Amino acid sequence: MGEPTRDSARDPIGEVKDIPAAQRARRIGRAHADRRQRGRRVGRGAARVMLVLLAVLGVATSLPPWGRAAARTALLLPELVMGTQNGAFDLIGDQVRHSSLTIQADFGPVFLDVYAPAAGAAPVRGARGGLLVIPGVGDNRQVPQLINLSQSLARAGEVVMEMTTPTLIAYDLAPSDTDAVVAAYEALAHWPGVDPSRVGIVGISGGGPLGCLAAADPRIRDRLAFVTSFGGFFDAEDYLRDIGRRAQVVNGRLVAWPVQAVPLEVLANVLEPYLPYPDGVRLVDAFAFEGASPLTSEDVANLTPEGQAAYHLLAGDDRANVDANIVALPADGRALLAALSPRGVLGEMRAPVYLLHDRGDTSIPYAEALDFAAALARTRHAYDFASFSIFDHVQVRPDLGLGPLLGDGSELGRVLYEQILVGS
């Protein structure tokens, strides 16, 4: 008989017979109605699934710490890499309140700039994480990328406290500023809405060693959530040695390393009090970043042996005798370099350490971070190490293409997530 067509059906004994047009229309109508009904059921089911997924996502990004940290990292990372605010937090982020104040430490004033969510206490758990930022030498409180970083973190729910001291503003470093870091930490730990157990220190450039010294201070070392050194040094004497030879050791190889002018000024200021007068003053004048008074060969010949050693190290013009020039420095000057070095307090630190460093850094050599990481690994101290190629020392370079941003952005996001997780 052949296969039935769309216009035929079988009777109970298997014979095919024609279906009247009216009956066929009714059946087609019922089929369409059944399909619409099934479509509505599927649509309602999909909507329920979507609502459940959205609810789970909302809970995941607002209640569990990992979820809040992941959401905040996803919103923060583009702002940090691009150096500008992208407006993502305008819809869901906190409003930010900025305040400036001065507190007193044992060795002088400490200047603080605080960026905090205007809402006060966090809606979940009622307490926020805190980040104490030491933004290096000079007065960097008006640097746009630093302001953007602090505001973005505050909009993500953190309380960010930037700190500096008269010594740092004068492009100098002193171990006594450790006390200032401790005083600032205490101020942040007692800031309204902050959970003292979720406060970390982020030291940038010359602020990295100070943050590590404070992390070893018995007054706070057992309470500190973490310490980050971004572009800092591990051993000040090794750092000076690399400056003297204009080279650093990376993976066992000595490679050329060009150094910028600002570190030379800072180290001249560090050594000046320990050199015979007027050698120290002349050294500072010779390596001032602005308005330098270079020394002639006759001027150098008239310096004391200690002054000549310091000059040759900073000038990098006697690379064959770098070790001898290090030894020729005044003993108390070398003691100061040791006192500024995280290497000397590594065994007293308790908090996890995050190391961030650009591989092409021309202010503080990448080798310093490698040495720091190796020492942490030997002592089995908890740490994380991330290297980059997108920074000009500690600021994102403006001439980057998409490739470096994507590659290093993921690594930066990973470290950012881990630190935000503490405050979440």
pTM, whole model, 2 decimals?
0.77
The Cα 115–Cα 162 span in angstroms is: 8
Cα–Cα distance measured from residue 81 to residue 78, given in angstroms and rounded to the nearest whole number: 5
d(CA 312, CA 146): 34
Q: What whole-number distance in Å separates Cα of residue 259 and Cα of residue 248?
A: 11
Identify which of 398, 389, 399 has the alpha carbon closest to the alpha carbon of residue 366: 389
**DSSP string covering 127-165:** -EEEEEEE--SS--TT-HHHHHHHHHHHHTT-EEEEEE-
**Cα–Cα distance, 28 to 325 (Å, whole number):** 99
Select from 158, 208, 93, 190 the least CA-distant residue to 421.
Answer: 158
* Of 350, 279, 349, 278, nearest in space to 314 by CA: 279
Non-local CB neighbours of 44 within 8 Å, separated by 6+ positions: none
Q: Report which DSSP code applies to 143.
A: -
Across 86-109, average pLDDT: 79
Report CA dihedral (8, 11, 15, 21) to the nearest 10 degrees. -30
Distance between CA atoms of residues 133 and 208, nearest Å: 9
Q: 355-387 burial by CB neighbour count: b if 16+ within 10 A, else e?
A: bbbbeebbbbbbbbbbbbbebbeeeeeebbbbb
The span from the CA of 155 to the CA of 93, in Å, is: 5
The band of 410, judged by pLDDT with boundaries at 50, 70 and 90, is low
**pLDDT score, position 292:** 87
- Side-chain-side CA neighbours of 343 within 13 Å: the count stands at 19
List, in sequence order, every residue forming a beta bridge with 353; answer none if it has no partner.
227, 383
Identify the structural domains of the chain with CATH numbers, from first to last: 65-235+341-423 (3.40.50.1820), 237-337 (no CATH)
Q: Select from 411, 315, 421 the least CA-distant residue to 358.
A: 411
Which neighbouring-strand residues pair with 133?
162, 202
pLDDT at 4: 39
Of 121 and 101, the one with more pLDDT = 101
Q: What is the pLDDT of residue 56?
A: 38
Pick from 329-338, 364-373, 379-388: least confident: 379-388
pLDDT in tens, 125-138: 557 889 999 999 99
pLDDT digits (tens, 9 = 90+) for 181-193: 999 999 999 999 9
Structure tokens, 28: 């087609």
- Average pLDDT of the chain, as a whole number: 81
Query: 44-53, 145-154, 229-238: which range is least confident on average?
Result: 44-53
Q: Which amino acid is at 48?
A: R
CA distance 194 to 210: 23
Report the pLDDT value the prediction gives residue 177, as an integer from 0 to 100.
98
**HEC string of 220-260?**
CCCCCCCEEEECCCCCHHHHHHHHHHCEEEECCEEEECCCC
Can you tell me the distance from the alpha carbon of 128 to that of 107, in angstroms, rounded to the nearest whole number? Answer: 30
Q: According to the model, what pLDDT value does residue 157 have? A: 84
Indicate the pairing of strand 353-358 with strand 227-230: parallel
Dump pLDDT digits (tens) for 135-189: 999 999 888 888 888 888 888 888 999 999 999 999 999 999 999 999 999 999 9
Residue pair 124/189 in contact by the 8 Å Cβ criterion: no
Average pLDDT over residues 61-70: 46
Q: In whole angstroms, what is the distance from residue 394 CA to residue 391 CA?
A: 6
72 pLDDT above the threshold of 70:
no
Output the pLDDT for position 242.
Answer: 98
Is the pLDDT at 221 greater than 90? The verdict is: yes
Strand partners, 114: 99, 161
* pLDDT tens digits along 272-291: 999 999 999 999 999 998 88
CA 372/CA 345 separation, integer angstroms: 12
User: What average pLDDT score do residues 379-407 get?
Assistant: 78
Cis peptide before 404 (omega within 30 of 0): no
Please say if the pLDDT value at position 380 is more than 70: yes
